[in-house]
Chains A and B, each alone.
Chain A
Amino acid sequence: MEKFKTIISTALPLPINDIDTDQIIPARYLKVTTKDGFGKFLFRDWRYDKKDQPITDFVLNRPEYDGKILVAGKNFGCGSSREHAAWAISDYGIKAVVSSFFADIFKENALNNGLLPVQVSESFLEEIFKISASSKPAVLKIDLENQEISLEDTSLSENFEINGYKKECMINGYDDIDYLLSLKKEIEDYENNLSITY
């Protein structure tokens, strides 16, 4: 997993609530058996029309938005547990997703792929959308070490939550398998001490 420290980038605004993973990547693209190449299918049915032509006003088709931070409405990533959603976002080149609320499984999938979910307040989110909708794209700085997100050219910044274990993993590029394997003895002890086994 790639290490994550600080990024400064243009925000890609998607001010829609409850974006489900079927929109992030439709089921018909889940038939492959590898993790690569999902970026081209990211938001496929919002990005291209029925004749495969780019829908020009969709954010990913607008040249001024070429950043690494996706900013989406509340409850991002709900629905299916498909990790392909996180793979598609990462493969597209996005490093962090900002929203005021994330679905649980999406959040875990993102963290397991070095994609940082940053939960901000409703008002902070609104501010990003407001700036994005006006003159030029908003620019965000995300500092994982200090758990801080700031909106460049303004005095606005916020702290965000991430549990200590996951933060370590993100910063150092570790993943859960490494840690779980180190617990083999404890897991076996647990199994041996069970009073009820299935």
Chain B
Amino acid sequence: MAKTLFDKVWDKHVVKQIPGGVNVLYIDLHLIHEVTSPQAFAELETRNLPIFRKEKMVATADHNVPTINQHLEIKEELSRFQVEKLGENCKKHDITYYGLGHEYQGIVHVIGPELGLTLPGKTIVCGDSHTSTHGAFGAIAFGIGTSQVAQVMASQCLIQTKPKTMRITVDGKLSKGVLSKDIILHIISTLGVASGTGYFIEYAGSAIQSLSMEGRMTICNMSIEMGARGGMIAPDETTFEYIKGKKFAPNGSDLDDIIKYWKTLTTDNDAVFDKEHHFDAADISPMLTYGTNPGMGVKIDGKIPLAASGENEKSHKKALDYMHLKGGDSLLGKTINHVFIGSCTNSRIEDLREVANYVKGKKKAENVSALIVPGSKQIEQIAKKEGLDTIFKEAGFSLREPGCSACLAMNEDKVPNGEYCVSTSNRNFEGRQGPGSRTILASPLVAAATAIAGKIIDVRNS
């Protein structure tokens, strides 16, 4: 029977089918971080259980960590305790841990791919919803809760219902100033934040294939923002090229052999999806969000929609009240005092290069504080080697040390109450970047342009 890419990877990992459509699914890679793992370790301890396959786990500290002076002790007591707890747990159970100061430390979804841990055909989980990022390699990768973290620790398996499949095809050539972030914001604002719930997405089409691995990760990363557990892209030469030479990736003849298998990981021509959507790349513009979920987005020169009549009216009004914005207005020209470039969506070297390319020789506006937080120690190093740090410094941007930072404001990097932030992260929920913060999601290019202009401008004209 013809199979989708998703079916091929899923079916290979089913250990057992339980009546009622529930599967026991084997997990190849389990990533953990400090926030969603402590209660899972405690659960194992209470039940006196060992870690079943510790060699399939990798840990890092990212959500809580400060982005300056990482060599010093973490000042905030609870954060320090949580990060230390992770270190202790990893030591006790002999789990690979890239803690603060380690050359491989970084945001969990950034380090997996750059270390060659994320590979086509794998099943990957983490107690974090943006685990969907890893699907860019043709892996089935999805976020789980802490009870499930404990399950994987105890058995390397999860009990899962097989999701439905959806294909989103984007064909054509992207216009000037349009990045992969705009593709996914366009898709989510068109289809809605719950459109992917119950589905696993495959992204296909010439516009997707033309993207670098970084661009593909940005797309898959935000699959969860439309409700899908994950999104994936069939591996191709771009994928294999990226993997080559990565620290833990297969090499030599092992790599050649496994690439033969990876090449079979494509959707068969006559495979049928439960749902299909098509987009034309030419219709996509640089995007901005105006509301309090990632589906509330408009083209950069578009107008904020008026309240929809009917069921969404209340939510729409609540969102605009929170954002202090009005339906019918344009965001162009709006003064912005905070710009955040970072998060597992857009903190990779390609994003930093994009920003550097734009800000080189320019200076940020007086009113703006601009934060650049690389996704990992390795990215920070490459950026320095390429001299991007000097470019950022001269432009008045502050290049920090790696972590989640203002994406969720668990550390001290917060957007002040009532202030707007143009952010390259993935969520504009109420209070996400600090209590009362107002987030406008955008691409790294739009964020860079905002920082220079001190207000939102149309990057296509600058």
Contacts and interface: CB of A to CB of B under 8 A. Distances in A.
A125 to B, nearest CB: 10
Interface residues of B, number: 75
Contact of B85 (A33, A80, A103, A183): A33
Contacts of A73: 314-315
Contact of A50 (B42, B47, B154, B436): B436
A26 B147 contact: no
A156 interface: no
Contact of A104 (B20, B43, B147, B198): B198
B229 A16 contact: no
Given A83-B36, A163-B22, A164-B20, A109 B410 contact: no
B28 A198 contact: yes
Interface string B24-55: 10101100000110110011000101001000
Interface residues of A, number: 56
B427 A180 contact: no
Interface string A94-127: 0000000111110011001100000000100000
A112 B429 contact: no
A165 B79 CA distance: 38
Interface of B: 15-16, 18-22, 24, 26, 28-29, 35-36, 38-39, 42-43, 47, 49, 52, 63-64, 78-79, 81-82, 85, 119, 121-122, 127-129, 143-148, 150-151, 154-159, 161, 163, 193-194, 197-198, 224, 227, 229, 258, 261, 293, 311-312, 314-315, 318, 408-410, 417, 427, 429-432, 435-436
24 contacts: A22-B432, A23-B429, A23-B430, A26-B431, A27-B410, A31-B81, A32-B82, A34-B38, A74-B311, A75-B193, A81-B36, A81-B127, A83-B145, A83-B146, A101-B197, A104-B227, A105-B144, A163-B161, A175-B147, A176-B147, A181-B49, A186-B16, A187-B24, A196-B258
Given A81-B127, A187-B15, 11 more contacts: A31-B35, A73-B314, A79-B224, A79-B427, A105-B229, A163-B22, A177-B147, A180-B154, A180-B159, A187-B24, A198-B29
